[in-house]
Amino acid sequence: MSVTISIDNMDDDQPVMSLANGNFGVLWSSLGLRVDWCGLIDPRAVLTRLRTFDAESITRPDVVEGNTTSCGIGTEQARSYVERLTNIAELAERQENLICWG
């Protein structure tokens, strides 16, 4: 399963990011945001948190438990998440739109 983050009422050519549920939960909670599997948020709230956010704080190793493997978040992947979320939030703010996810 995955969660898609985008701009509410967006055009087809605007940025979208899709994260595995677990990675979304790690990113969202690390930003101090309430983890819910769908919703809307003011982009300024996200940008305020991202300005002081250390992407490496969400890195985590792969974990294997029995027959289940949970892929971790590497440094480059974490930086990519922060960069893409920042781009979405900045564009949403310029358009006076909300960020949505689900």
| Per-residue model confidence as pLDDT tens digits over 56-73 | 999 999 889 898 887 889
According to DSSP, residue 73 is labeled: B
> What's the CATH architecture for 2-101?
3-Layer(aba) Sandwich (3.40)
According to DSSP, residue 57 is labeled: G
pLDDT score for 63:
87
Q: Are 40 and 98 in contact (CB under 8 A)?
A: yes
- Rounded to the nearest 10 degrees, what angle do helices 75-94 and 43-50 cross at? 140
Element (DSSP H or E) covering residue 41: strand 39-41
pLDDT score for 26:
94
pLDDT score for 23:
93
Ranges of each domain in the chain: 2-101
pTM of the model: 0.90
Low-confidence ranges of the chain (pLDDT < 70): none
pLDDT score for 39:
96
